Amino acid sequence: MRCLSISILVPTSTMMILSAMTSTVRAFVPRSKQLRPVAQNILGGIQNNNNNKRLRLSSSSQEQQEWTTDKVRSTFIEFFEGQEHTMQPSSACAPLNDPTLLFTNAGMNQFKPIFLGQVDPNSPLATLKRAVNSQKCIRAGGKHNDLEDVGRDTYHHTFFEMLGSWSFGDYFKEEAIDYAWTLLTEVYKLDPERIYASYFEGDDNVPKDTEARDFWLKYLPPDRVIGCVAEDNFWEMGDIGPCGPCSEVHYDRIGGRDASALVNADDPDVMEIWNIVFIQYNKDEKGLSSLPQKHIDTGMGLERVVSILQNRSSNYDIDVFIPIFEEMAKYSKVGSYEGKLGEEDSTLKDTAYRVIADHIRTLSFAIADGAVPSNEGRGYVLRRILRRATRYGQQILQAEPGFFQKLIPVVVKTFGEAYPELVKNQATITEIIAEEETAFSTMLDRGIKFFGDLEEEMKSEGKKEVSGETAFYLYDTLGFPVDLTELMAEEAGLTLDTKGFANEMETQKTRSRAARAAAKSGGSPQLEFIAEQTAALTDNNVFPTDDSFKYKWDVELPATIMSIFGPDGFYKDGESAKAGDFVGLVLDKSNYYPEAGGQEADIGTIRLLDADDKVTGTFEVRDVQSYGGFSLHKGIVEDGSFTNGAHVNCRVDYERRRLVTPNHSMTHVLNAALRQVLGDNVDQRGSLCNDEKLRFDFTNKKAMTADQLRKTEEICQQVVKDSLPVTATTMPLAEAQAIEGVRAVFGEVYPDPVRVIQVGDDCSIEFCGGTHMSNTAEAEAIVLVEETAVAKGIRRITAVTRDAAREAIEEGNRFEKMVVDLENLEVKTDGLDKKAGAMRNEVDAAFISVTLKADLRGRIEGVQKKANEIKKAALAQRTAISNDVRSLVLNVDIGADSKASQQVLNAVKKIAPDMAFMGISEEERGSGGKIMAFALVPESLVDCGLKADEWVRETLEVCGGRGGGKPGSAQGQAPTCSDVDAVMTASKSFAELKVSVEA
């Protein structure tokens, strides 16, 4: 724990001189980003003489208790509730229902539909005028990424809480500034003399925000109301979308001086604490346009304002970090936290403390909200954060592996009252972090060993620079952060080619971007409504689409085209969409189901009618999306000329919908079945329902067993056989939430009233707006065809119904007969193990029940086991030769079956543990096709120079193959091989050479 510092009283005359000098400097420094460092350096030089005997604002325990983090948070919320703001609970810091966002990085994220004009009219958000909350945020990826700064200073975090207040088309600049001033000076009682406000100074596109400036001048003198450039004081949601100028509140920790030149200059003592954004424009490829409604979006960093109220010079010295540091000190072998920075922290001990304390909060909150470490997206960021913390703990603090998971209880105790999800999910958080920490500790050991070998090799060759390619291998394959590689290189007297590493990273990113672009290429133009479009429709007296007909069946619905939207915007009256045009049609009413809740949108046709109701044109509907209640029917004009006001006839492809609805209804049944088999901890994490399959993601800590899958499938199949009714009831949200056992998707926002789907009397009851069958018998059959991992703790089941299910059942029967025929073959049948291996490959790829697949695999392995016993006996005879034989190369007839190769190696270990062995096998003997090589070398011969990985590479080089592994065991393949004898000869020669050299 950091010691309290002593306050040094600086004479008033000295402070006056310093203030005058800083004012003089400020007068000659333009407010530009380029010249701010100059001002900072000059002011830094003026103040350096006092920094060692710093006016470091000491804190007493009484001050800490007065403004605890919990009290600061609750005071903020209570203040705005008193100003008629609605308390809107924090959304998850990992937005599972928004794949476009890695993490919730600002309080406004959950209100995006309001800003974008896409909110469902029936959603509770639609009536929200004022809101307040404390939002759990993570900034560790994407546009807002503070990861690399964490630990190096006193105020950056990957996880933090954002105190926020909002006005949605209600009050604007004056009230927002009034509220901010009142809260800061009258409630929190911050010193008004230390407060600075910034406003947007204007540019070629947007005028100076004189309104905000003038409102601040009611409270502050002109020299503390500062105009700043767009980089600091113009806020944008993204490259396009709602945006506007902002006004920041900065606070000078030191006081008694003119610190205006340090505003927005990254000085830790002149810190931005609150940002008030005036959302008044929309930005698109054409530029800026005024929004129909103006909004307020504010955000204040909780940790920052707490550090000020507790008179702490560091965010990491506030009350919520102290218990974490005290717990960490129990596992540190290099001492407790001292709060040192920069050169003072030469061992990086205190940097490590800050990193670990920050990262354990991030991971605990993210996992509690349903995110898990994985190899992609937000999961990869979490894995990187965990590995970074683990490395700092083990390398810098010299903590034992497993220390990180031991910090979870103190995090839960500190934050659990405000965020009960931490308490509820503590066991899951611990299990996931423990597993990840254990896995990386092993990787850490491997990486250190790899680097040790590399260092020895480089020094023997006189090399001084670790290549970027090698660093990238450590990073990409072994999970080693590049900063660890650089540190190890420095300790070894080597350098790292950071530019080469960056090039390798960029190459990987380029490949990834190219893959994504290729996946998207060939598609149709992207058509989407945001606030500007939905507002324009409203201004033109176009009402939201009446889509209540989407639950009707086999109806052709007459409708009127209210608006046509194309890549260049809305079509004007008199303009028409003609054959070949890809556009979106907004109708007054529609029977099309727009994509929602995991269910794909309806497709079909919209027919153009003349005054006599004759068809004069057709429009192919390829997709339907709903934006703010407006259904946008996207597709292509096949023939005719479509104009605003035209009469049309909507024809949904109901035959396709009849394939979709059983899949959707059966996800509800599957959800219930999984809870019955696995327990009540199962939660839905996503779904996909289309005309081909259903896909259901759910929480489960490990792969389901064959028995669990069988029980789940049997429950679902029985529900189909029982012909249970499926009913839909619309009711008030509060009433629906009170239904015992009702299920809702984690993180989903539901409309009010909400639609409730019930299957049978007690099978399933869920909130859902999708289309459903009326009876489970309509599914005809259901087969679970796959169970796999999505991420840590998240599993996915894929299933099929109706025709696809019957096809899977028939295919399963065919394979079962084939396995019976295999089992009836004589054990001594020539090539039996090879036939069994080929059949297992066919079963693996077969479209059959996952439970049947597991059963057939087991039976095939039984056949292989019997056949391998014969091989083992033959192998034993061939190895029972002279003790002088140190190595053996055999052509083993097992095809390209890697599992069978492992069985052969296991047999060799038992029969001849001191002999080096290589097996070579063709996929099909004499075909010239794929060939496989696998090797086993005892430690005694590895020490002599015969290494399995080198042996495999040399062997396969003859036919252009590749391989790898460890010195003790390795394997590899070549796609083609026309001369197996040459491969055998090369293998024997290499082994004999190594053994003879040793002899």
DSSP 739: S
Q: How far is CA 137 from the centre of its chain?
A: 14
Of the candidates 377, 338, 383, 392, the one whose C-alpha atom is nearest the C-alpha of residue 362 is 383
Contacts 24+ apart (CB under 8 A), 277-280: 277/235, 277/244, 277/245, 277/246, 278/172, 278/173, 278/176, 278/209, 278/212, 278/244, 278/245, 278/246, 278/247, 279/115, 279/235, 279/242, 279/243, 279/244, 280/244, 280/245
The one-letter code for the residue type at 652 is V
Query: What would you report as the CA-atom Rg of the chain, rounded to the nearest whole angstrom?
Result: 34
Token code pair at residue 267: 């000085």
- Non-local (6+) Cβ contacts of 292 within 8 A are 531, 532, 535, 538, 539
Q: Which string of DSSP letters, residue by residue, matches 301-360?
A: EHHHHHHHHTT-SSGGGSTTTHHHHHHHHTT-SS-------GGG-TT-HHHHHHHHHHHH
N- to C-terminal Cα distance for the chain? 62
Beta bridge partners of 834: none
Please give the Cα distance from 579 to 246 (Å, whole number): 46
DSSP 8: -
Angle at alpha carbon of residue 277, lines to 276 and 283, rounded to 5°: 170
Q: Is 85 annotated as a binding residue?
A: no
Please give the Cα distance from 933 to 961 (Å, whole number): 10
Contact 104/92 with Cβ under 8 angstroms? yes
Q: Is 668 annotated as a binding residue?
A: yes
Contact 968/948 with Cβ under 8 angstroms? yes
Residue labelled with tokens 């965020």: 419
Please give the Cα distance from 594 to 197 (Å, whole number): 46
Of the candidates 867, 847, 846, 843, the one whose C-alpha atom is nearest the C-alpha of residue 857 is 843
b or e along 164-182 (b: 16 or more beta carbons within 10 Å of the residue's beta carbon)? bbbbbebbbbeebbebbbe
Secondary structure of residue 931 in the 3-state scheme: strand
Of the candidates 623, 548, 642, the one whose C-alpha atom is nearest the C-alpha of residue 589 is 548
Residue spans of alpha helices (H) in 107-254: 112-116, 173-182, 210-216, 230-233
For 899, counting Cβ atoms within 10 Å of its Cβ (0-12 exposed, 13-18 middle, 19+ buried), the class is exposed
Q: How far is CA 87 from the centre of its chain?
A: 27
Please give the Cα distance from 751 to 119 (Å, whole number): 10
Q: Is 137 annotated as a binding residue?
A: no
Q: Is 359 annotated as a binding residue?
A: no
Q: How far is CA 282 from the centre of its chain?
A: 28
Secondary structure of residue 154 in the 3-state scheme: coil
Give the DSSP H or E segment for 272: strand 270-284
HEC sequence for 401-454: CCCHHHHHHHHHHHHCCCCHHHHHCHHHHHHHHHHHHHHHHHHHHHHHHHHHHH
Please give the Cα distance from 636 to 889 (Å, whole number): 64
Secondary structure of residue 863 in the 3-state scheme: helix
Beta bridge partners of 789: 795
Contact 525/582 with Cβ under 8 angstroms? yes
Known binding residues: 664, 668, 768, 772
Known binding residues for Zn(2+): 664, 668, 768, 772
